[in-house]
Structure 1
Amino acid sequence: MSNPFFVFSLVFGSAVCAGLVARGLRQPAFLGHVLVGLAAGYWGLMRGDEVNRLLEVLSSAGVMLLLFLVGLEMNVGEVKKMGGRAVMTGLGQIVITTIIFAVFLINFGLGLSQSLFLGASLAFSSTIIVVKLLSEKHDLMSLSGKMAVALLLIQDLAAIVLLIVFGGGLSGGLFLLFIKILLLVGLTALMSRKIMPKILHRLARSMDELILFSLAWCFVLAAVIASPLFGLSLEIGGFLAGLALSGSFEHVQIATKIKPIRDFFLTIFFVGLGLNIKLDGSMVPFAIFLSMVVVLIKPIIVWLLMRLFGFKQRVAFGTGLMMGQISEFSFIMVGIGARAGFLSSSNVSLVSLVGLITMVVSGYLIIDKEGVFRVLKPVLGFIWKDTSKSDPLPAELSDHIILFGCHRMGRSVMVHLLKSREKILIVDFDPEVVEKLKNEGANVIYADASDTDVYDQLGLSKAKMVISTLKDIKDNLVMLSEINKRKSKVSIVVDAESVEDAVDLYKAGATYVIFPHFVGGLHLGDLVRKGVFLGILSLMLLINLLKRNVYDPKLGINVLLIGRNGMGVISIRAESGVTGQMRLPDNLSISIESNGADYLVEAIYKIGSPVSDPLNSARRSVGQALGIVISGVVAAPVDFGVDGFVQSLIGVATKTNLSLIDRYLLFKDFNEKLRNKASLSFSLPKNVIDFSDEPDGKKIGKLNPAIFVWSKNQWVVDEVLSETAEVTVVNASGKDGKARLVARQIESAGVRVIDILVAKKGSDNSCFLLGNIKAHPKTAGFLTNSFLCEQNEGLDLNDFIDHDVKSDLVVILGKQS
């Protein structure tokens, strides 16, 4: 075909469709892309120097963006959480696999350096395939799933190191390369911690500017690093560019927006990969043979290493089986080697074919890994039998509870049982969990629920109850079968993920089946009925608004909550010029009626009946959820005069620029005034909103403020409703779609949104919360909040104050100016 654009579009569209088909077959999409490229090459499409140059540029951009996102989402701190066994297993597998494949390839006529290079390429496994299949099987949180993810992370880190070395060291000068790498890593760390977070924070007001800057940063830095000055590859430049941005709060938003762009370029990369595969009669049989070696050798190496480090048969085998394919990094590495002239096109074709075959074969093995284990279990037991012994258990077990699984849910069950002074016998197959429990003095057996011999050690005939928190229904069915074989009458409580699983478990003899998600929903509903939920709901709403980039650092954001029995405002602003903080006494509980005063501090406003013990309540509902310290709560049970006392109160406000001596004197005076009154409280305004006529004839409503003292990184979201069941969301922000977005977030918290309202005439005539800076001789930066609304042309707040709505709670979204 003479029209290159038409050919490119046809091939690209076919690749996208093939990727969708591959996903439908539970395979990664890029397998379909490679096959389309293979077909295009077979039929002679997309040939010519111009097409090849275009493919090379676009493919490099795709890989560069892939590594940019790897750097952006890289969390090296996760390696510290893996434990020594995982790190040693991961590194040992890479080294041993590389050596074995290098020796194997040397015997087939390749040189030493090329064999080591290809051996290293084949040592890595596919994060995309393993994580995708584990997610579909809901197996990510199993011990074998967590170990597999840990090994893959170690492999990714090792692959990045090798890409840096291979990308800049193939032509020699390793010492100079080492110096360059140290320099680049140091500069990247400096940019990530000190410079880039500030730049991105300023750009975060506009998502478009943030993404454009991030892409420009990636391309420019990659081009500089690939220049003769550094002599590294574009891919490494992309990784370092992402690493430099990873220390910012905005890195999650950047990654989310750039992934579709990356996928476009990566599709072209894999099409080009398939396009360059050159098949001949001798290569295909060798590729199939090498693929079978990969599928067998890598799992065996991981299995042996994990058995050596004390893991049980089943965990070691399951983790090893997931490593039986090669990685996306394998394609990138051989591509770099080919561009450097270090590898031939036939080497690239060989690795590409091996990748296709191993990904397909291992994918189906992972899907049925439990069935594969049951078939091979006798062989594995013959090669390496479990010989580990548990610590001696009490000679006489009676009236005890047997707990299978002691991670997350199981740990919570154990804690509650111990508080009730129950005797517990724990069965777990995670060696680190078992070691931790032994150090705590618990009775624990290191075993798998599928190990039939272990049930004779549990004292089932004298046990009070068996509780299983295991997620795999097959494990629970084995457990039920073994208990029934011993004709035990013990009560058995098991965990299920679906109604179908629960039916099977009841048929197998379970006494009671629980659904963790359902139990969590009941607990959440109980919190709602007790009136504790509004603080949590407000917090979730606030966090989600911040994540969605609605918050403007200069303008701030306000959320007004109006309920049948109370009202609240959450306000956030950027702070500046705060040089000191002071903690107020825990027994302070204060609210002041004062219209038009010049010393008001931005606050949470509250009307209605005060909650009992509001300080501790706020600490529970918000302080624990956020990990912050709550320094005070607004409450107003009785009238009390404020003249004279307010002057001292303002002097000790936590936002202050007073000297330490002045603050100490004021704080001392403040405490003396509290000696006779453990809790100071004042009356709230009778009217929530006062309307007044402006010179232009418009009616302006002003919200009567209460006072609340707060400090940097500390705020209170107090419960203002006795019940919260249904919500109405009102959009007074002038931004389309915000109310629907917030409604979805509220509903995700388990609260029903029954209505979504919009201001009648848009942003010009809507209600907003305005912040006006007020000065006081002893303070700086205090703010007064007033709620302004054009009564006739915008929202009439009296409708909500008079509860002329069907819901229990009204959420009004406003913006500040």
Structure 2
Amino acid sequence: MIEATWIAFAFGLGLAARQLGLPPLIGYLGAGFALAAFGDQLGVGKQDSEILSHLSHLGVLLLLFTVGLKLKPGNLVRPEVIGGGLLHFGLSSLLMLPPIMLFLDLGWQEALMLSVALAFSSTVLAAKVLESRRELKAFHGRVAIGVLIVQDLIALVVMSLANGEVPSAWALLVFLLPLLRPLLFRLLDASGHEELLVLLGLMLALVVGGMGFEAVGLSSELGALAFGALLAKHKRAGELSDSLWSVKEVFLVGFFLQIGIGGLPDVDALVFALVMAALLPLKTLLFFFLFLAFRLRSRSAFLSAASLTNYSEFGLIVISVLMPQWLVPLALSVVFSFIISAQFNRFSAAIYDRLAHRLIPLERNTRHPDEQPVSLGEAQILVMGMGRSGRAAYDYLQGKGYRLISLDSDPVMVERAGSEGRNVLYADAEDQTFWQTLEMNRIEAVILTMNDAEAKIIASRKLREKGFTGLVVSHALYEDVAREIEAAGADHTYLTMTEAGAGLAQNVAQHLQGPARRD
């Protein structure tokens, strides 16, 4: 069966790429080229390519649906996200246009489409890099993801305009979609946590969103994104996104296989890709200086720019629709950019530490949206993390009369907790410069309630390295994580589920009013 050949090639070369420290999708593209080279011997025909085309389209719809699930206005509607994303897209497209027209001898329309495709950065790669480093919720991670979502929305607009399709009158019903939100919320609540949840996501992304929008003359990609956005405010949106992650990734393998099967790269394609790879640092510099212009600190600007230093699979999607003859050269450019970006991001924090003395003076002399405290004032207790556990600990101790301060790396959470009357500041526990400058002379105890285990380990270690001798307590889900946190310097680590069970038992004993009776 030819499907077995696809899977074997994709797995084998994907695994090889991963062993080399590269994103597996580089291997998938290589598998496509291998299938193109040996297609006749392996029996790969036109029908097989059509099957892959269908699978890749499903992968793109699921990708956009999961992007929609992350469309939270609090993280997206920020000057550095919208301004940085739009300005970079416009400036990058304009800067790339003249050399493309000059050296490739293209008309301005074709050259513009190519420059637009090269202006996007990879949502898949950036998300995986940030997730692997546990930085998705750090300030620079949120900025990078926000910019990528802005770019994804631009990509949909570009494809819709370039296709030139006129929607039917029924397309006006799209404006009534927000009225469906209560129904969609109920469906999500009723779907449980297993296969029904996955089926609900597939139905909304592929059937209701994709096919529904196509039926009224709109882009199926826009439909998938719209239905994801309708569910973004639901408390289980993240769970739905996680449940679809593997399905989406498998379908996207078909997208990269299809590109490779489309044809082997020639010398011209290779030269084009090498030139585009050489121009990648310009993308980094443009992002960096734009973020500085929007008052970010140099560290946040540098790490956000590093995450966005690549070309995008969305560029491939745009080109596959508008200029399919350029798909192979652009795909090769994306591959080279992924190789460079993977290695750059691997050492980006260390690179910044070496360049910090040169980059910090470039910051604007004003208050930064990612400003971190240098003193914790008169507070006695520091609570790090303003999730449910952090808020509960803060409110309990505040009721006992203690002077408290809390830190969180999520700007939206900081604003929310501050509006509720808590003393909360923004800070990233994994930022080395934060710990170097922090003054906490009055702090007697620190409570670590961050969700990320690595952040709690780093915070425990940095607190002890600073010479803090007070009480450090944390919570953890698993015993092995608890041991790591205590080895890093925490005095006590409480197992969340164990403590919850003990609390339930304590309440039962109190209701029974006294010790157990033995009859």
Identify whether the pair has TM-score above 0.5, normalized to the shorter chain: yes
Per-residue CA deviations over 1:348-378 (Å, capped at 9, x if unaligned) read 2221011111122222333443223223322
Per the alignment, do residues 522 and 312 of structure 1 end up closer, same or farther by CA in structure 2, a change over 3 Å counting? farther
1:322 corresponding residue in structure 2: 307
Matches within 5 A, 1:480-499: 480-481=464-465, 483-484=466-467, 490-491=469-470, 493=472, 498=481
1:37 corresponding residue in structure 2: 32
Alignment partner of 1:279 is 2:265: yes
335, 344, 350: which is aligned to 1:365? 344
Matches within 5 A, 1:447-486: 458=439, 460=441, 462-465=442-445, 471=455, 473-474=457-458, 477-478=461-462, 480-481=464-465, 483-484=466-467
| Whole-angstrom distance in 2 between the partners of 1:499 and 1:116 | 54
Alignment partner of 1:421 is 2:405: no
Matches within 5 A, 1:288-687: 288-294=274-280, 296-339=281-324, 345=325, 347-384=326-363, 388=367, 400-401=379-380, 403=382, 405=384, 407-408=386-387, 411-424=391-404, 458=439, 460=441, 462-465=442-445, 471=455, 473-474=457-458, 477-478=461-462, 480-481=464-465, 483-484=466-467, 490-491=469-470, 493=472, 498=481, 501-502=484-485, 505-506=488-489, 512-515=490-493, 518-530=494-506
| Whole-angstrom distance in 2 between the partners of 1:256 and 1:475 | 27
- Supply the AA of the counterpart residue of 1:284: L
| Whole-angstrom distance in 1 between the partners of 2:30 and 2:140 | 31
Whether contact under 8 Å (2:380, 2:402) holds in the other structure is yes
1:123 corresponding residue in structure 2: 119
What SS class does the counterpart of residue 279 from structure 2 fall into?
helix
Alignment RMSD (CA, Å):
5.1
Superposed displacement of residue 305, structure 1:
3.3
- Supply the AA of the counterpart residue of 1:290: M
| Whole-angstrom distance in 2 between the partners of 1:431 and 1:525 | 32
68, 78, 81: which is aligned to 1:84? 78
Whether contact under 8 Å (2:23, 2:342) holds in the other structure is no
1:148 corresponding residue in structure 2: 144
What SS class does the counterpart of residue 90 from structure 1 fall into?
helix
Whether contact under 8 Å (1:321, 1:366) holds in the other structure is yes
Please, what TM-score do these two structures have when normalized by structure 2? 0.73
2:173 corresponding residue in structure 1: 186
Matches within 5 A, 1:755-766: none
1:666 corresponding residue in structure 2: none
Q: Greater shift after overlay, 13-22 or 401-410?
A: 401-410
Superposed displacement of residue 490, structure 1:
4.7
Whether contact under 8 Å (1:218, 1:242) holds in the other structure is no
Whether contact under 8 Å (2:213, 2:222) holds in the other structure is no
Aligned residue pair count = 492
| Whole-angstrom distance in 1 between the partners of 2:425 and 2:171 | 49
1:796 corresponding residue in structure 2: none
Superposed displacement of residue 271, structure 1:
1.9
1:101 corresponding residue in structure 2: 96
What SS class does the counterpart of residue 81 from structure 1 fall into?
helix
| Whole-angstrom distance in 2 between the partners of 1:255 and 1:60 | 23
Whether contact under 8 Å (2:88, 2:286) holds in the other structure is yes
| Whole-angstrom distance in 2 between the partners of 1:68 and 1:330 | 15
1:688 corresponding residue in structure 2: none
| Whole-angstrom distance in 2 between the partners of 1:531 and 1:520 | 17
| Whole-angstrom distance in 2 between the partners of 1:132 and 1:323 | 12
Matches within 5 A, 1:248-259: none
| Whole-angstrom distance in 1 between the partners of 2:168 and 2:456 | 46
Superposed displacement of residue 186, structure 1:
2.4
Per the alignment, do residues 452 and 258 of structure 1 end up closer, same or farther by CA in structure 2, a change over 3 Å counting? closer
Superposed displacement of residue 312, structure 1:
2.8
Unmatched 5+ stretches in structure 1: 170-175, 340-344, 507-511, 534-609, 614-721, 724-817
Per the alignment, do residues 501 and 224 of structure 1 end up closer, same or farther by CA in structure 2, a change over 3 Å counting? closer
- Supply the AA of the counterpart residue of 2:501: G
Superposed displacement of residue 101, structure 1:
2.8
| Whole-angstrom distance in 2 between the partners of 1:216 and 1:504 | 46
| Whole-angstrom distance in 2 between the partners of 1:128 and 1:436 | 29
Per the alignment, do residues 195 and 66 of structure 1 end up closer, same or farther by CA in structure 2, a change over 3 Å counting? farther
| Whole-angstrom distance in 2 between the partners of 1:104 and 1:472 | 48
Whether contact under 8 Å (1:27, 1:129) holds in the other structure is no
- Supply the AA of the counterpart residue of 2:171: L
Superposed displacement of residue 160, structure 1:
2.3
Per the alignment, do residues 521 and 184 of structure 1 end up closer, same or farther by CA in structure 2, a change over 3 Å counting? same
Per the alignment, do residues 104 and 447 of structure 1 end up closer, same or farther by CA in structure 2, a change over 3 Å counting? farther
- Supply the AA of the counterpart residue of 1:272: Q
Per-residue CA deviations over 1:180-203 (Å, capped at 9, x if unaligned) read 2784362585598299979x99xx
| Whole-angstrom distance in 2 between the partners of 1:219 and 1:303 | 40
Per the alignment, do residues 276 and 306 of structure 1 end up closer, same or farther by CA in structure 2, a change over 3 Å counting? same
Alignment partner of 1:114 is 2:110: yes
- Supply the AA of the counterpart residue of 1:38: F
1:132 corresponding residue in structure 2: 128
Whether contact under 8 Å (2:288, 2:305) holds in the other structure is yes
Whether contact under 8 Å (1:126, 1:325) holds in the other structure is yes
Superposed displacement of residue 212, structure 1:
12
| Whole-angstrom distance in 1 between the partners of 2:86 and 2:470 | 45
| Whole-angstrom distance in 1 between the partners of 2:424 and 2:446 | 14
Alignment partner of 1:58 is 2:51: yes
Per the alignment, do residues 416 and 124 of structure 1 end up closer, same or farther by CA in structure 2, a change over 3 Å counting? farther
1:697 corresponding residue in structure 2: none
| Whole-angstrom distance in 2 between the partners of 1:326 and 1:528 | 52
Per the alignment, do residues 215 and 451 of structure 1 end up closer, same or farther by CA in structure 2, a change over 3 Å counting? closer
- Supply the AA of the counterpart residue of 1:61: H
Whether contact under 8 Å (1:105, 1:115) holds in the other structure is yes
Per-residue CA deviations over 1:679-728 (Å, capped at 9, x if unaligned) read xxxxxxxxxxxxxxxxxxxxxxxxxxxxxxxxxxxxxxxxxxx99xxxxx
Query: Which has the larger helix fraction?
Result: 2
Per-residue CA deviations over 1:319-359 (Å, capped at 9, x if unaligned) read 221111222212111111224xxxxx3x3222101111112
- Supply the AA of the counterpart residue of 2:253: T
Paired-residue identity, %: 20
Per the alignment, do residues 369 and 414 of structure 1 end up closer, same or farther by CA in structure 2, a change over 3 Å counting? farther
Superposed displacement of residue 392, structure 1:
12
Whether contact under 8 Å (1:505, 1:513) holds in the other structure is no
Point out which structure has higher relative CO (alpha carbons under 8 A, 6+ apart).
2
| Whole-angstrom distance in 1 between the partners of 2:357 and 2:314 | 35
| Whole-angstrom distance in 1 between the partners of 2:293 and 2:173 | 37
| Whole-angstrom distance in 1 between the partners of 2:301 and 2:344 | 15
2:9 corresponding residue in structure 1: 14
Per-residue CA deviations over 1:605-659 (Å, capped at 9, x if unaligned) read xxxxx9679xxxxxxxxxxxxxxxxxxxxxxxxxxxxxxxxxxxxxxxxxxxxxx
Query: Which has the larger strand fraction?
Result: 1
Whether contact under 8 Å (2:446, 2:472) holds in the other structure is yes
